[in-house]
Amino acid sequence: MQTFLRNPHLRRFGISFLVMELVALMTGPPGSTQTPTAGFRGSFFEASSFYGLFRTQRWVVFLALAVVVFAIWSGWLTQGSVIRTTTSKALTYPRAVTQRKPVRWSLLGVALIVALLLPRIVDDAFWHSAMTEQIGVFVLLATGLNVVVGFAGLLDLGYVAFYAIGAYTTAWITGSLPTPAPFHGHFDPFVAIPVAIVIVMVAGILLGAPTLRLRGDYLAIVTLGFGEIVTIFANNLYGITGGSQGSGPIPHPVLHVGPLHYVWSLKPVPYYYLLLVFLVIFLIAFSLLEHSRIGRAWTAIREDEVAAESVGINPLKYKVMAFAIGASTAGFAGVVTASQSNNVFPSSFTLQSSINILVLVIFGGMGSIFGVVVGAIIIQVAYSYLLHTPPQGYQSADLYMYLGALLVLMMIFRPSGLIPSRRRQREMVLSKAGEGHMDEVLTGDTP
């Protein structure tokens, strides 16, 4: 019996089988108090179709999936190195091409044109609002968080707080909160953009200056706490924020600058263009920043803080700067969300959303601007698609299960993200070889 169990093929099959059974249970129907075993029975015996091929019961489907997993696993073990080299070749080849300047610029130009024409290409009310509220805003948030997490190597778990402060500032400036607006005026949301950015930056510096002396885990906990404090304040300061009822109606922005006249309305597409304009500005600014001395200083601090100090770099100053820049991006996103959705509710700024934004950054590739944008688009499109046309048996809470599984797989097979930053990837390889330091975002320990 013992030797029988040690058979590697059998063990692999056993593990595949158990994992798939677990998946079957997790994706199965929910149970109830009256029939506690219903969920269990349903998970295995409910009728199901094998991708529409033939009708059968669920357990057959998952047994077939277990066989597939087992086959892939065995194939990986015997042919793994071949698969790895071919995939890495296939993945690096387009990369080598896109490194060439003309190719890169024309690709970016095409991407911009597609982005400009997108509302016409996808002419659908749901997708128009998804494009703005789900994709546009989150791409912007991920790009901002990338400065903090990717460039400076600081794990920020309370990023959504800055987003919230931006949104509430808009509500305040436009006179939609119980607190009167400054000078008792009712300003346009456009006025809120600079005000929100400044207030959020100040918040970033106020939080950053004392806490960025902490490293790794400690910083993560402090930022987590900050995120919670802001949400709880927004929830409980009825007299100031309107509590869980949210703010009053926030007006739409109106633009009257020289020959430009435009009045935004409930329609999402004009907001999409507003976001796009600012996103392009932020992307250009951040990629210039990455290759400037500030970007190099961030890399230096991330790799070896002691050595960075020995050449005269003040780590605290640069970290606070990264924090403030990241925060200002979130502040701007807050202004757009607030004026587009007409209301601000504390429930939209939870820890969950902080983590979601972080997932976008990790998935796309920390420190890689292009990767983060692509990663954020992929995940947010998938999320919106599942919301729009949920497959049979899909519940919206399931999303996080799939996201989690995706992250686990990413960490195993492509830990530096979908489109990794070259510096980050090198750090990863070096630290695996026992050389150099990987920052705490990845390792979780303090050097």
Residues found near other proteins in the complex (CB under 8 A): 285-286, 288-289, 292-297, 299-300, 303-304, 306-315, 317-318, 321, 325, 423-424, 426-427, 430, 435-436
Query: Considering the complex, what minimum distance in angstroms separates the CB of residue 379 from other proteins?
Result: 27
Q: Are 276 and 116 in contact (CB under 8 A)?
A: yes
DSSP states along 197-219: HHHHHHHHHHHHHHHTTS-HHHH
What is the C-alpha to C-alpha distance for residues 275 and 397, in angstroms, rounded to an integer?
28
- CA-to-CA separations, 171 to 86, 141, 331, in angstroms, rounded: 53, 19, 12
Between 199 and 321, whose beta carbon lies closer to other proteins? 321
Cα torsion 286, 291, 292, 293 to 10°: value is 120
* Look-up of token digits 């993200």: 417
State how far the Cα of 229 lies from the Cα of 73, in Å rounded to an integer.
46
Q: Which is nearer to other proteins, 294 or 403 (CB)?
A: 294
The distance of closest approach from Cβ of residue 293 to other proteins in the complex, given in angstroms and rounded to an integer, is 4
**How near is the Cβ of 408 to other proteins at its closest, in Å?**
25
- Could you tell me which of 336, 357, 340, 338 has the C-alpha nearest to residue 279? 336
Cβ distance to other proteins smaller for residue 147 or 173: 147
Least Cβ distance, residue 151 to other proteins (angstroms): 12
Closer of 122 and 429 to other proteins (Cβ): 429
Minimum Å gap between C-beta 299 and other proteins is: 6
- State the nearest-atom distance from the C-beta of 434 to other proteins, in Å: 11
57 by DSSP, 3-state: which?
A: strand
Nearer to other proteins (CB atom), residue 314 or residue 347: 314
Based on CB atoms, which residue is closest to other proteins, 300 or 335?
300
Cβ-based burial of 258 (10 A; exposed 0-12, middle 13-18, buried ≥19): exposed
**In whole angstroms, how close is the CB of 423 to other proteins at the nearest point?**
5
Which is closer to other proteins, CB of 172 or CB of 278?
A: 278
Contact 364, 142 (CB under 8 A): yes
Shortest reach from residue 424's CB to other proteins, in Å: 8
- DSSP type of residue 179: S
Which residues, 6 or more positions from 440, have their beta carbon under 8 angstroms from its beta carbon?
153, 155, 215, 216, 217, 446, 447
Nearer to other proteins, 142 or 201 (CB): 201
Cα dihedral angle (216, 219, 221, 226), rounded to 10 degrees?
A: -160
From the list 376, 440, 438, 417, the residue with the least C-alpha distance to 221 is 440
Instruction: Kindly tell me which of 79 and 292 has the beta carbon lying closer to other proteins.
Output: 292
Q: How far is the CB of 102 from other proteins (least distance, A)?
A: 20
Instruction: Give the torsion sign (CA, 99, 105, 110, 116).
Output: positive
Cβ 282 to other proteins, closest distance in Å? 9
CB of 92 to other proteins, least distance (A): 16
Per DSSP, which regions of 143-300 are E strands?
A: 254-257, 260-263
Which residue, 219 or 321, is less far from other proteins as judged by CB? 321
If you ran DSSP here, which 8-state letter would residue 47 be given?
E
Please give the single-letter amino acid code of residue 254: V
DSSP annotation string for 387-436: HHSPPTT--TTHHHHHHHHHHHHHHHH-TT-SS--HHHHHHHHHHHTT-S
